[in-house]
Structure 1
């Protein structure tokens, strides 16, 4: 069986790498051969993260590249699409281009439909309900969490499958079980310059606790010039596991809004795979990933966040206990091996009737 994967990014884009490309070998062992064609280049992401801007020329080049990619559809059994063919492209154009597809599988790991739900776009033909239209055309919708799956079902999806965003366990399996010996407990956050905004409300507390020498704080993949009070490391796929092993506590603050409720909580999976206890906002998929009191803690208010950080910072034994439980939970529920059969079934669902 041959699958054409039309992704948003190449390997530098987390969603495309984790939702699509990391499954290549495991799917091939099941007779599912996937060819990947990204919309946006790694260079596009590099410029976006460095400058916060994109160029019209790069967007136009991506648009025409995607049109060319759709000409390949006839050579494949299934099209596996990351969300949409092209952001802000009317549904009628996308459904026309995808009409050549024998079978269409759409994968969502973010609530991209919300970008079309503001006052300016909601009433525009083919834009306001663009994502719903695509969902109705799909044979199967794969959702990264329960919030997105419910949205797809309510939008009229023929079939849905819930497949969480997972890690390659082999990358983390060789990490030591014992805790890294830091002089002070090291709290860590991993992300991009785009998602760093979710730290803003918590930064005053992190500065306060750092100034009191209760903790140190490390970001991986954030803007290195954004805050001189903290330590920053550049992200790379090759060093990610070792970087996460350096920290003692992983955090994932989120606002309580519709977009955040559709997020996949993957940061937590990364921390937990490295054997680290987590602190998270009890929002969306976070509530399914974290077992409160066993693999981590929940916090909502600033005071709760500070209390949770200090509770873990002051108890190495609690960190080790939660970290070990977290690692086991990821291995059993949020690894390639844990979900590959379900993903393969989703890609071949039409063969099963």
Structure 2
């Protein structure tokens, strides 16, 4: 039995790194042969992740042609299609020709902004219909199974497919494993991410305003921001106009394979999820990858009580939930002041991740699903 995982983007994007590369690695442990086709890594390494979403139809067709030729060699395999973008054309079309099976995986809400082909007749050729929602519906209906990273997405896909499974994005707990115990006079807070748009800019500014209000309790407190994205420079410049009771440390883009080294020196992980009207569904649908990484590294966390997070965080047990700036500040102050509470919550977070959100646990669940599907 073989499964081919197909993603649009590169290893540096969590939805391909975890849900293609890592899932492919994990199912091998349970006797399933696997491989990965990343349209960017394999056929367009010169393009950025953003470039991949905005290329012209001619380039999209070329990349699908390359993928189609590769997939022909594995036409008897189960295709694991990570989201319905233009890259799903080749595997979907091939399964229609061969009578094979595929699984549709969704980790994020892209259904109102999915980069399909710009020309409707090309979409109709590959998918039999046009329009983002129509194409997504068609692919979901034809899938042997759907896998969703959040409860919201699972409910959404269940309208079109009866065989829907919840598998969050998860974390490699062997790699993300703490090797130092931090207590004492220094407390480091961390946020990581891509500040790609105004909504993410506002989320980071929310954290900066919270940090400006904290009580250091006599400790040396630092807020660390490790980020990239179009609005990152604006965050840096706007932070210069604010006053803080501690230091601000900015880190530029860090390789996903090095993130554990940075988190090893942190104490409190922060995850605000404050949507605007345009991105409410997107944030509600996200599987919080960075939260799993924080928890695996035994960081105590303060997160928004929104979206997928309250399904994961039990307030006061394995992390804290809040919504307003005052609620975030209250929880942050409590964790800064109380070293033992910080350690206790971090240890419980690690335990919960190991039992429910580790790649080993998720890989076992996915392998069981795949073994029920006829190629």
With the shorter chain as reference, the TM-score category is 0.7 to 0.9
Change in Cα spacing, 1:325 to 1:60, as seen in structure 2 (3 Å) is: farther
Give the Å deviation of 1:287: 0.9
Change in Cα spacing, 1:17 to 1:53, as seen in structure 2 (3 Å) is: closer
Change in Cα spacing, 1:328 to 1:105, as seen in structure 2 (3 Å) is: same
Instruction: Compare 317-326 and 207-216 and name the one that shifted more.
Output: 207-216
Match of 1:143? 148
Match of 1:37? 37
Correspondence for 1:187 among 189, 192, 206: 189
Change in Cα spacing, 1:178 to 1:107, as seen in structure 2 (3 Å) is: same
Change in Cα spacing, 1:41 to 1:350, as seen in structure 2 (3 Å) is: closer
Give the Å deviation of 1:8: 1.8
Instruction: Compare 220-229 and 162-171 and name the one that shifted more.
Output: 220-229
Change in Cα spacing, 1:58 to 1:130, as seen in structure 2 (3 Å) is: closer
Contact 2:317 2:348 in 1 (8 A): yes
Change in Cα spacing, 1:98 to 1:62, as seen in structure 2 (3 Å) is: same
Gaps of 5+ in 2: 115-123, 240-247
Match of 2:96? 99
Q: Aligned to 1:331, what secondary structure does the other structure show?
A: helix
Higher relative contact order structure (alpha carbons within 8 Å, sequence separation ≥ 6): 2
CA deviation vs aligned residue, 1:207-235 (integer Å, no higher than 9, x gap):
56358773421122335634154322231
Change in Cα spacing, 1:209 to 1:42, as seen in structure 2 (3 Å) is: farther
TM-score when normalising by structure 1: 0.84
Instruction: Compare 14-23 and 199-208 and name the one that shifted more.
Output: 199-208
Gaps of 5+ in 1: 117-123
- The answer to whether structure 1 residue 221 and structure 2 residue 239 are counterparts is no
Change in Cα spacing, 1:274 to 1:208, as seen in structure 2 (3 Å) is: closer
CA deviation vs aligned residue, 1:150-206 (integer Å, no higher than 9, x gap):
11111x214111111111111123x2362265x542211111232784352452552
Change in Cα spacing, 1:34 to 1:249, as seen in structure 2 (3 Å) is: same
Looking at structure 2, the residues matched to 258 and 208 of structure 1 have their Cα atoms a distance apart, in angstroms, of 25
Correspondence for 2:179 among 176, 179, 190: 176
TM-score when normalising by structure 2: 0.80
Change in Cα spacing, 1:113 to 1:204, as seen in structure 2 (3 Å) is: closer
Give the Å deviation of 1:134: 0.9
Contact 1:3 1:80 in 2 (8 A): yes
Aligned length: 340
Looking at structure 1, the residues matched to 33 and 43 of structure 2 have their Cα atoms a distance apart, in angstroms, of 26
Contact 2:43 2:66 in 1 (8 A): no
Match of 1:70? 68
- The answer to whether structure 1 residue 235 and structure 2 residue 238 are counterparts is no
